[in-house]
């Protein structure tokens, strides 16, 4: 068969499969996105294999269950901007095409973050060069995807646990106004994109106060901020419901959207003294720290179901101001919590198991939505 003809046939077949999946997704009443359609967006983080649709388990599952996605890694600085004058847009462009194909919104993640920075940025010594990188990075990437992505995590994890600004390279070299400046640059480059601040533990009162001060400062400067993302990396038995509820109230009182952006519930012991999602932290493995290598006991499964049910009851109670719930991954096999903060553990933090089968928690929260 001549090459151009083969290309046309393949394109038509791909389009048919794409629209069939979309129609299936839209008619499957028991999917998460269907169940919560009137309440909030439902999202997942996507890895490279999922974006490229080589992960068989996710091909229909993602467009069926979710109506918004966040790239787990491919839009982070070390991947999308590995050298001073080199950008890798391939995978981000594929993600945009993926979103278009299935009618799924994209929350781009992220522009300014102290982690997963390429070496060239870590090695920048003088403030002027860092400022130049900062402006180029934000402007180039935000402009390229303006109108193509729904929203951006403009600044990620800029706060320390006590609510003061993290002593990152950006704070040290650019000073405390760098966050306002990041939003100002993004607003200019991406006028059709929502702009968010995203962080972990900002439900905690001290850190929350820091986040509120930060958001107020951006607003007072006359710069646009559309929402705040509470990451939601929590532990079974320690999901801080009361703090979460207070945070929803206080953040929404600022007139911005409140989102849960990286939800997962670890069932494994926390080797660290406190809750964190700092990707730079590491701990040693041991049998006691990896208690369920072959499966989860029923008692833990029950507790897990209850934790998600309680959380979603709360989310539904505040559905007027909570605009999105995004899980940090589709299924347990894919979760970053198998390798962080300890490499090689077996964790069970998501609604789909290692075979991508929905767990009891999945059905329970869908039931809640129907009540």
For the bound state, the minimum distance from the C-beta of residue 338 to ligand XIL, rounded and expressed in Å, comes to: 10
Would you tell me how many other CB atoms lie within 10 Å of the CB of residue 20? 11
Q: How far from chain centre, in Å, is Cα 72?
A: 7
Is 262 annotated as catalytic? yes
Question: Please, which residue, 25 or 178, has the CB nearer to ligand XIL?
Answer: 178
Residue 102 C-beta: closest distance to ligand XIL, Å: 22
How many residues bind ligand XIL, per CB under 6 A? 8
From candidates 48, 73, 136, 270, binder to ligand XIL by CB under 6 A: 73
Active site residue 367: no
**Nearest approach, Cβ of residue 45 and ligand XIL (Å):** 6
Residue of 44, 50, 156, 193 interacting with ligand XIL (CB under 6 A): 156
* Smallest distance from ligand XIL to CB 63, Å: 21
Q: What is the 3-state secondary structure (H, E, C) of the chain?
A: CCHHHHHHHHHHHHHHHHHHHHHHHHHCCCCHHHHCCCCCEEEEEECHHHHCCCCHHHCCHHHHHCCEEEECCCCCHHHHCCECCECCCHHHHHHHHHHHHHCCEEEEEEEECCCCCCHHHHCCCCHHHHHHHHHHHHHHHHHHHECCECEEEEEECCECCCCCECCCHHHHHHCCCHHHHHHHHHHHHCCCCEEEEEECCCCCHHHHHHHHHHHHHHHHCCCCCCEEEECCEEECCCCCHHHHHHHHHHHHCCCCEEEEEEEEEECCCCCCCCCCCCCCCCCCCCHHHCCCCCCCCHHHHHHHHHHHHHHHHHHHHCCCCEEEEEECCCEHHHCHHHCCCCCCCCCCCCCECCCCCECHHHHHHHHHHHC
Exactly one of 236, 254, 279, 300 binds ligand XIL (CB under 6 A); which one? 279
Q: Is 253 exposed, middle or buried (0-12, 13-18, 19+ CB in 10 A)?
A: exposed
Among positions 223-252, residues that touch ligand XIL (CB under 6 A) are 231
Assess 336 for contact with ligand XIL (CB under 6 A): yes
> Which residue in 39, 55, 65, 72 binds ligand XIL (CB under 6 A)?
72
Shortest distance in whole angstroms from residue 355 CB to ligand XIL: 21
Closer of 161 and 303 to ligand XIL (Cβ): 161
347 binds ligand XIL (CB under 6 A): no
Question: Residue 151 interacts with ligand XIL (CB under 6 A)?
Answer: no
The least CB distance from residue 21 to ligand XIL, in Å, is 25
For residue 217, what are the β-bridge partners? none
**Residue 108 vs 138, nearer CB to ligand XIL:** 108
Positions in 292-331 near ligand XIL (CB under 6 A): none
Q: What is the smallest separation between the CB atom of 68 and ligand XIL, expressed in angstroms?
A: 16
Catalytic residue, chosen from 65, 72, 181, 262, is 262
**Position 262 contacts ligand XIL (CB under 6 A):** yes
Q: For the chain, how many residues are written?
A: 371
Phi and psi at 265, nearest 5°, equal: -125, 110
Name the residue number minimizing CB distance to ligand XIL. 336
Nearer to ligand XIL, 58 or 231 (CB): 231
Q: Which is nearer to ligand XIL, 21 or 329 (CB)?
A: 329
- CB of 18 or CB of 240, closer to ligand XIL: 240
Q: Which of 157, 181, 194, 203 is catalytic?
A: 157
C-alpha 351 chain-centroid distance? 16
Q: Does the protein bind ligand XIL through residue 277 (CB under 6 A)?
A: yes
Which residues have a catalytic role annotated?
Answer: 157, 262
Residues at the interface with ligand XIL (CB under 6 A): 72-73, 156, 231, 262, 277, 279, 336
């Amino acid at each position: 068969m001549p090459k151009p003809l083969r290309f046309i046939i393949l394109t038509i077949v791909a389009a048919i499969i794409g629209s069939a999946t979309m129609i299936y997704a839209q008619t499957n009443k028991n999917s998460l996105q269907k169940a919560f359609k009137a309440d909030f967006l439902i999202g997942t983080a996507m890895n490279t294999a999922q974006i490229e649709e080589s992960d068989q388990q996710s091909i229909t599952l993602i467009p069926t269950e979710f109506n918004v996605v966040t790239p787990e890694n491919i839009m982070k600085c070390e991947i999308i901007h590995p050298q001073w004058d080199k950008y890798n847009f391939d995978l981000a462009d594929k993600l945009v095409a993926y979103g278009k194909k299935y009618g799924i919104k994209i929350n781009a993640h992220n522009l300014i973050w102290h982690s997963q920075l390429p070496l060239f940025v870590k090695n920048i010594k003088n403030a002027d060069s860092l400022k130049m990188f900062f402006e180029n990075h934000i402007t180039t990437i935000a402009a390229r995807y303006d109108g193509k992505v729904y929203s951006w995590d403009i600044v990620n994890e800029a706060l320390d646990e006590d609510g003061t600004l993290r002593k990152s390279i950006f704070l040290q070299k650019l000073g405390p106004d760098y966050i306002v400046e990041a939003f100002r640059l993004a607003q200019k480059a991406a006028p059709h994109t929502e702009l968010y601040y995203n962080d972990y533990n900002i439900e905690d009162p001290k850190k929350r106060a820091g986040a509120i001060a930060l958001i107020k400062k951006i607003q007072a400067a006359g710069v646009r901020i559309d929402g705040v993302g509470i990451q939601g990396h929590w532990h079974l038995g320690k999901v801080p419901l009361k703090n979460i509820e207070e945070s929803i109230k206080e953040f929404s009182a600022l007139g911005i959207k409140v989102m849960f952006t990286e939800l997962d519930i670890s069932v494994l012991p926390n080797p660290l003294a406190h809750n964190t999602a700092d990707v730079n932290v590491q701990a040693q493995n041991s049998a006691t720290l990896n208690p369920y290598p072959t499966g989860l006991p029923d008692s833990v499964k029950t507790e897990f179901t209850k934790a998600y049910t309680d959380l979603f009851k709360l989310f539904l109670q505040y559905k007027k101001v909570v605009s999105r719930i995004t899980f940090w991954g589709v299924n347990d096999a894919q979760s970053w919590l198998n390798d962080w903060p300890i490499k090689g553990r077996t964790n069970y933090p998501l609604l789909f198991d290692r075979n991508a089968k929905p767990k009891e928690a999945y059905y329970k929260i869908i039931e809640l939505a129907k009540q």
